[in-house]
Structure 1
Amino acid sequence: MKSVNNHSAEIESGEGRDTAEEVRTGERSAPAIVSISDIHGYRDDARSALLTLSDHREYDPLVDEDEDGRLHWADHNYILLFNGDLVDRGPRNEEALALVARLLRQAPPGRVRVTLGNHEAVALSPEYFNYTTWYSGQVDQSDREALIASILAGVIVAAYQGYNVVYAHAGAGGDGLVTRVIGPAVDAGYGSQHTPNYKTEVLG
């Protein structure tokens, strides 16, 4: 969990807490929001998802790849939202966190956002969960403190307000909260074990 916190020291208190409407760029068009969720430590699949726009000439790339295969912020008009569950299940948790942290450092403030997933929440209180074989259940006190610092700095948030959609990890409970499914989020190709998340339009 330390890797995501590498960026929090560079953000003044509260600076990271914005909405899509508040991102100011001087550009005519509002930034498009690209949301990717449930990386779950599958760093290679996350790379593939981030490179998807590079395969479509009608879109500017979200990231650029260097000679060593590392991805970097491409500095185009996007907001990239990692919508929870960066860790667990996959074999490359630290590398997935390092990728997110690198993009956070390279992008202008507010252009890369991270919401808290239930697997990150497990790391806050692993003694209450039986995830001892997973990354989130093995964090030490310094990892936990780094995660808390990221939350307090606004680097990791509970939800992110887009233009017409509020992005939050996991489903909605209760009656009438979700009004309609808008469409699938980016599917990073996790196969039959992965359930794609969907962007939803919510009331309020």
Structure 2
Amino acid sequence: MSKITWNKFRSMHKGTPMKEIKGLWADYKEGKYEPKGTEKPAAKPKAAKKKPEAKVVEEQPREEFLRLFNDLFILNDPSEAEKSLYRQLLNLAEKTRPEGYTTARGDGWTIYLGPTQKTVLVNETRRTAFSITRSYWQRFYQGAALVDTQMFDNEEGLERLKKQYRRMGKLVTRYPIPGIEIMVPASSLDIPLPSGVE
């Protein structure tokens, strides 16, 4: 049995659930399990293996890069079912928002809070309002920068605001999709500096 560190052992078992890796590690320490990469390979003809090995060595990093890129930038869980649900969500969002609505990082936002959980989030640049709750705001944008906060003493103020945007056809009665329909800095550290400022 060759001596392998925990980090090396984990890297040899990429894609395996952590709970299972811990069990295999315990078996390895007791001598009951030998990882595939540590076994001595049988004698093989060198000439027959050289060309395919080079191709495999080139393909594995590319496939690994593509898998990691998908994990990090496309979706947290890149299963087909999750991708399908996300596409459906985007399609439904497009049908339920005002025609031609887009957002940009420079848009001005105001959140109107009432005495209850009901809240109205307004994109002042695009003159579009979203009917949301305080829970949504706290979950995704607690501490967000560049968002003006206004308070109403009663529910009537929020209802008047909703009625005003409903008459204009610019009231969306669902949550905005983070990063798609609302783009605000998560904190003051995320505020982009003007060009030329370091």
* TM-score category of the 2 structures, normalised to the smaller one: under 0.3
More strand per residue: 1
Quick check: which one's helix share is greater?
2
How does the TM-score come out when normalised to structure 2?
0.23
